[in-house]
Amino acid sequence: DARVTQTPRHKVTEMGQEVTMRCQPILGHNTVFWYRQTMMQGLELLAYFRNRAPLDDSGMPKDRFSAEMPDATLATLKIQPSEPRDSAVYFCASGLGTGFLVEQFFGPGTRLTVL
């Protein structure tokens, strides 16, 4: 049963520390999405990649956030330095397709708490 995996599942860190979240998309999927979910803002699309190339990261604060796909089996989302307002659940999703007709398969999320 293929599924998206995310590590770590939970992360507690102190303000100013670097945080790296990892995502393994479903094998063969060519599109990867990063979302952030908070009570106040709901689900926000941070960035997405197709065939490992970043296509849109306009939802991501550029000064502290960065997203990469070093290879087809790994996507990373990094926050440096982290701030308390970054506390949220971060979801990765992967899909197969072109354009916007992509069914997204979500990972279980990384719950980040920044103290």
Residues forming contacts to another protein in the complex (CB under 8 A) are 4, 33, 35, 42-45, 48, 55-56, 91, 93, 99-109
The least CB distance from residue 76 to another protein, in Å, is 18
Based on CB atoms, which residue is closest to another protein, 82 or 94? 94
Based on CB atoms, which residue is closest to another protein, 81 or 106? 106
User: How far is the first Cα of the chain from the last one, in angstroms, to the nearest whole number?
Assistant: 36
Q: How many helices (H) and strands (E) does the chain have?
A: 0, 11
Six token digits for residue 1? 């049963």
The least CB distance from residue 60 to another protein, in Å, is 14
Residue 20: which of 110, 115, 105, 87 has the closest Cα?
110
Give the number of other Cβ atoms within 10 Å of residue 72's Cβ. 16
Sheet with 74-79, strands from edge to edge, namely 5-7, 19-24, 74-79, 65-71
The least CB distance from residue 16 to another protein, in Å, is 28
The least CB distance from residue 49 to another protein, in Å, is 11
Based on CB atoms, which residue is closest to another protein, 51 or 80? 51
Based on CB atoms, which residue is closest to another protein, 62 or 100? 100
